[in-house]
Amino acid sequence: MSSIIFSAAVADAMNSGHPVVALESTIFSNLGLPSPANEEALTRTIAAVSNAGAVPAVTAVIDGNVRVGLDEDMHDRILGEAVKTAERDLAAAVANRWSVGATTVSASLAIAARAGIRVFATGGIGGVHHGSAETGDVSADLGAIARYGVLTVSAGAKAFLDIPGTLEHLEMLSVPVIGYQADEFPMFYARSSGLPVPLRLDTPEAVATLIQERFEWGGGALLGVPIPEAEALSSAEIQDAMSGALSEAARRGVVGPAVTPFVLGQISEALDGDNIPANLALSENNARVAAEVAVAFAALS
């Protein structure tokens, strides 16, 4: 059975009951933000977790080993070329000793749950794709959020997805969807999708109390945190860029796992790169909120 290698900082935190926040690594690799924005994202996200009183634990597969927390000398490796690693790929990544496997939401949740980490931060989750009734294209992220006893903190789902379908799927999976200081589900670069959330909570302590009870019953929860207003893009901007990106993906026959990076690249071009500062801001903000919730949850425990 494969084991997890913890960084010294994460191991110390776990042993002492100090709050830890798991982080995915896809966004920091060549599969996420372009260089040097990916390095800035890594620096800002780690700092946000630390400054809020928790220990950051970036998840990844390095030389065939599942890692929870990366030492600084590993940062350059995760910032470079990597293989996208979802939950289904973890066994292959370990068995075939992949050099660098950048973990997606589903893989990061599986690793966090096995490591005993209860709070996880990402940018935006995957979800139900347009046309999924014909293609069956639904992200493994949703099943992982439902399956593992971990809170996922995100700025909603990626904007090019079928957001109403994603929320319906989460309801079908019995996932509690919480709006953090918001009555509507956030839409990644935009503060709102216009769709109401079933539950609004306004403090880290309230979120911690709810997830403590949720974990007793089994399964995870999703906390939707709107992007900070100063860096948010308008829904109209995003809709225009998204429509063009989806049309181009269909024209080129892009399907499956290739859709997300392709569409995000097309949206970035259409928005003249304005999405990159937005992505940095929302990732940093999600990490801060996740750390505050982790601190509150540790106090309850």
Show which residues are catalytic.
24, 158
CA proximity to 126, closest of 85, 103, 94, 160 = 160
- Which amino acid, one-letter code, is at 100? V
Rounded Cα gap, residues 286 and 131, in angstroms? 29
Between the CA atoms of 193, 197, 200 and 202, what dihedral angle is there, to the nearest 10 degrees?
-20
Calculate the alpha carbon distances from 128 to 85, 138, 255, 264, 290 in Å. 19, 4, 13, 16, 24
Angle subtended at Cα 108 by Cα 49 and Cα 15, rounded to the nearest 5 degrees: 60
Outline where the chain has alpha helix (H): 8-16, 37-51, 75-79, 90-95, 105-115, 132-135, 140-147, 163-172, 204-217, 235-252, 259-270, 275-300
Task: Let me know: does 13 contact 20? Beta carbons within 8 Å.
Answer: yes
